[in-house]
């Protein structure tokens, strides 16, 4: 393998792919970056930790097509510290030579034969393809991913459910204390509903990669993985598509639609920013997993009390319809829900102090947050 390229292009590609390098790789070769130079003048840079695969391409003058696996972190550091301008790479027996300006580096490489087959090629005819706005998807992921569980004993809950139907994608995640559901519009889709569960960690990376890309994301659901094709917006010519792929979590996601209540009689409408600030302040006095209490009435009274530490209380303006009662929540979960919403005012709908409450944006229905109250003794 032998090619020349711009250092900035190479750095962009290397930094993108490096996100998939794991610190606790099970296979030694996965600490590497897989670099493949093609006759067509594009160089693919890829990495995987098996859960998440990230690949991108850059334009280069390819003298000799080929494949090499370089030690990821070191290569990343070298490229980052090179001056701008042209870089040339040439692989020899068990090593790669990097030259830039008057600098020469020789680095031992890893065995390309050990590198797993990457799941980034195009799909088969029976794979499902949908397309969406990348900014919208990024926003939706940010709303939902945080609600996924970190309890490894129930694996399906460590993932996010993707429900794909014609024209619509619904994302849902729950850790069994709260449930976040977000809907977005898509182009294309299968004839009937397709459900897959993707690991939350991979989706958090996807969300990060989507930031600032603009443009569209094409999503391909295949037999055992989902592949996202990102067009790197605004950088025409500097590279091609970037690809992110993730394996599924196998299993049955709980039927969350059954959990969503309908028609609670009590609804509280408050300013979102004020609610966030108040919950954060009062929440300081809800230590040791104690809840914050909300007295729902014409005014919202938020209070917390930790024995031997102290107590806090704050009253907020609110519009309220229904009976007055007290409901208590984990302050972090309440804060997460309110911060995931994007409207100026939010609506809290509740049945009583024990039934799960709903948090929504005012006059907005694409995102729903269901929150279990904490039982007050």
Cβ 127 to another protein shortest distance, Å: 14
Residues 83-112 that bind another protein (CB under 8 A): none
By CB under 8 A, name the one of 27, 184, 194, 267 that touches another protein.
Answer: 27
Q: At 291, list the tokens.
A: 């809840």
Considering beta carbons, is residue 128 or 184 the nearer one to another protein? 128
x/- letters, 157..196, toward another protein (CB under 8 A): -x--------------------------------------
| CA atoms within 13 A of residue 17's CA, in its CB half-sphere | 33
x/- letters, 231..260, toward another protein (CB under 8 A): ----------------xxxxx---------
Q: Is 284 in the site for another protein (CB under 8 A)?
A: no
Measured CA to CA, the distance from residue 266 to residue 196 in angstroms comes to 35
Residues in the interface with another protein (CB under 8 A) total 36
Which residues are within 8 A (CB) of 206 and not within 5 positions of it... i.e. 6 or more apart? Answer: 141, 228, 244, 246
Measured CA to CA, the distance from residue 253 to residue 256 in angstroms comes to 8
Measured CA to CA, the distance from residue 50 to residue 41 in angstroms comes to 27
Q: Is 126 in the site for another protein (CB under 8 A)?
A: no
**DSSP-based three-state secondary structure for 265:** coil
Stretch that binds another protein, among 89-97, 154-162, 173-181, 314-322 (CB under 8 A): 154-162
Strand order in the sheet with 292-296: 310-317, 299-306, 292-296, 325-329
Residue appearing with tokens 């550091």:
77
Q: Is 199 in the site for another protein (CB under 8 A)?
A: yes
Cβ 69 vs Cβ 1: under 8 Å: no
Considering beta carbons, is residue 62 or 225 the nearer one to another protein? 225
- The radius of gyration of the chain's CA atoms, rounded to the nearest angstrom, is 25
Q: At 4, list the tokens.
A: 């020349």
Cβ 14 to another protein shortest distance, Å: 13
Q: Is 51 in the site for another protein (CB under 8 A)?
A: yes
Q: Is 26 in the site for another protein (CB under 8 A)?
A: yes
Considering beta carbons, is residue 91 or 134 the nearer one to another protein? 91
Cβ 107 to another protein shortest distance, Å: 9
Cross-strand bridge partners of residue 236: 239
By CB under 8 A, name the one of 43, 225, 341, 370 that touches another protein.
Answer: 225
Considering beta carbons, is residue 72 or 361 the nearer one to another protein? 72
Cβ 359 vs Cβ 345: under 8 Å: no
Measured CA to CA, the distance from residue 226 to residue 203 in angstroms comes to 11
Stretch that binds another protein, among 73-81, 204-212, 258-266, 304-312 (CB under 8 A): 73-81
Measured CA to CA, the distance from residue 346 to residue 334 in angstroms comes to 12
Q: Is 63 in the site for another protein (CB under 8 A)?
A: no
Stretch that binds another protein, among 37-45, 67-75, 160-168, 360-368 (CB under 8 A): 67-75
- Distances from the Cα of 42 to the Cαs of 13, 17, 31, 50, 323, in angstroms? 12, 15, 23, 24, 66
Find the helix packing angle between 72-81 and 7-18, rounded to 10°.
150
By CB under 8 A, name the one of 38, 42, 88, 155 that touches another protein.
Answer: 155
State the residues that interact with another protein by CB under 8 A. 23-29, 31-32, 50-51, 71-74, 76-77, 113-114, 116-117, 119, 152-153, 155-156, 158, 199, 223-225, 247-251
């Amino acid at each position: 393998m032998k090619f020349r390229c711009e250092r900035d292009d190479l750095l962009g590609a290397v930094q993108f792919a490096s996100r998939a390098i794991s610190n606790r790789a099970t296979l030694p070769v996965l600490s590497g970056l897989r670099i493949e130079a093609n006759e067509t003048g594009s160089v693919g840079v890829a990495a995987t930790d098996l859960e998440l695969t990230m690949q991108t391409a850059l334009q280069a003058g390819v003298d000799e097509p080929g494949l090499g696996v370089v030690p990821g972190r070191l290569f990343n550091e070298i490229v980052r510290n090179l001056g701008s301008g042209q870089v040339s790479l040439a692989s020899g027996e068990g090593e790669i030579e990097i030259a830039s300006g008057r600098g020469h580096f020789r680095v031992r490489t890893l065995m390309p034969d050990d590198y797993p087959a990457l799941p980034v090629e195009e799909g088969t005819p029976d794979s499902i393809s949908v397309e969406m706005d990348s900014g919208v998807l990024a926003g939706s992921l940010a709303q939902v991913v945080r609600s996924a569980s970190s309890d490894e004993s129930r694996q399906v809950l460590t993932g996010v459910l993707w429900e794909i139907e014609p024209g619509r994608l619904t994302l849902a995640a729950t850790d069994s204390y709260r449930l976040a559901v977000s809907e977005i519009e898509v182009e294309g889709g299968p004839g009937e509903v397709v459900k897959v569960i993707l690991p939350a960690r991979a989706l958090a990376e996807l969300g990060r990669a989507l930031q600032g890309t603009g443009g569209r994301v094409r999503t391909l659901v295949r037999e055992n993985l989902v592949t996202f094709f990102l067009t790197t917006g605004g950088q025409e010519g500097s590279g091609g598509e970037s690809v992110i792929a993730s394996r599924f979590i196998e299993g049955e996601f709980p039927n969350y639609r059954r959990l969503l209540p309908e028609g609670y009689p009590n609804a509280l409408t408050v300013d979102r920013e004020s609610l966030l600030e108040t919950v954060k302040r009062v929440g300081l006095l809800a230590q040791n997993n104690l809840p914050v209490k909300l007295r729902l009435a014409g005014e919202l009274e938020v209070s917390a009390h930790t024995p031997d530490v102290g107590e806090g209380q704050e009253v907020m303006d609110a519009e309220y319809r229904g009976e007055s009662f007290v409901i208590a929540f984990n302050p972090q979960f309440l804060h997460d829900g309110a911060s995931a919403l994007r409207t100026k005012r939010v609506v809290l709908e509740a049945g009583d102090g024990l039934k799960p409450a709903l948090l929504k944006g005012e006059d907005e229905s694409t995102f729903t947050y269901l929150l279990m109250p904490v039982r007050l003794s």
